[in-house]
Amino acid sequence: MKMNVSLHPATNDDVDFIVDIDSNSDKWLVEDEVETDKNKVKETTISRMKEDWYKYFVVKLNDDCHTPIGVVYIWHYVTHRKSWEIGYCILPAYRRKGYCFEAVSTLLKYAFDEYGAHRVVAMCSARNEASWRILEKIGMTRESVFRQELPCNDKWVDQLFYAILASEYQHIRG
């Protein structure tokens, strides 16, 4: 199957693109605590890029220009348990086209095949239906609802907790 997107390990040339996404509260509509100070976000991004426990990938279209359309992240959740957490953001103009599904599916492959994960987790606001639908579509199981855990627009909202085990991933892959 031809993939429409590919993941590219972030380099120093990608820092500004990542910072623009991570510091823009308009791109994180269901998140209340978005750091908007670009200098702080840049400092955090550069620091994380130097570490083995946190990895950024730029999502690019497989077009002639390799157009960057988003970022996916993976980091150690509980190191000694071989557990990783994933996150993602696709630019609004590229949402609802299947690109996020492809990118997150590829990130799961990396988690299990490259990083030796036993378990991969993800969390999202219960209000972010697009996000939790992606997690379910890639085979993750909703394990918990953390009631009123996230502040969002002056209200407390539920956070959903998803996970997939290596054995489940292997079964899905066939």
Per-residue pLDDT reduced to its tens digit, 80-125: 999 999 999 999 999 999 999 999 999 999 999 999 999 999 999 9
57 bridge partner residues:
9, 72
160 close to 140: Cβ distance less than 8 angstroms = no
- Residues 85 and 159: their CA atoms lie apart, in Å, by 15
Specify whether domain 5-173 bears CATH 3.40.630.30. yes
**Confidence category of residue 2, pLDDT binned at 50, 70, 90:** confident
User: What are 99's two structure tokens?
Assistant: 């690109």
Q: Which residue has the tokens 């730029």?
A: 58
Rounded-to-integer distance, Cα 135 and Cα 149, Å: 19
pTM, entire model: 0.90
* Average of per-residue pLDDT across 23-36: 62
Q: Which of 23-32, 95-104, 154-163 has the lowest mean pLDDT?
A: 23-32
In the chain, where are the structural domains located? 5-173
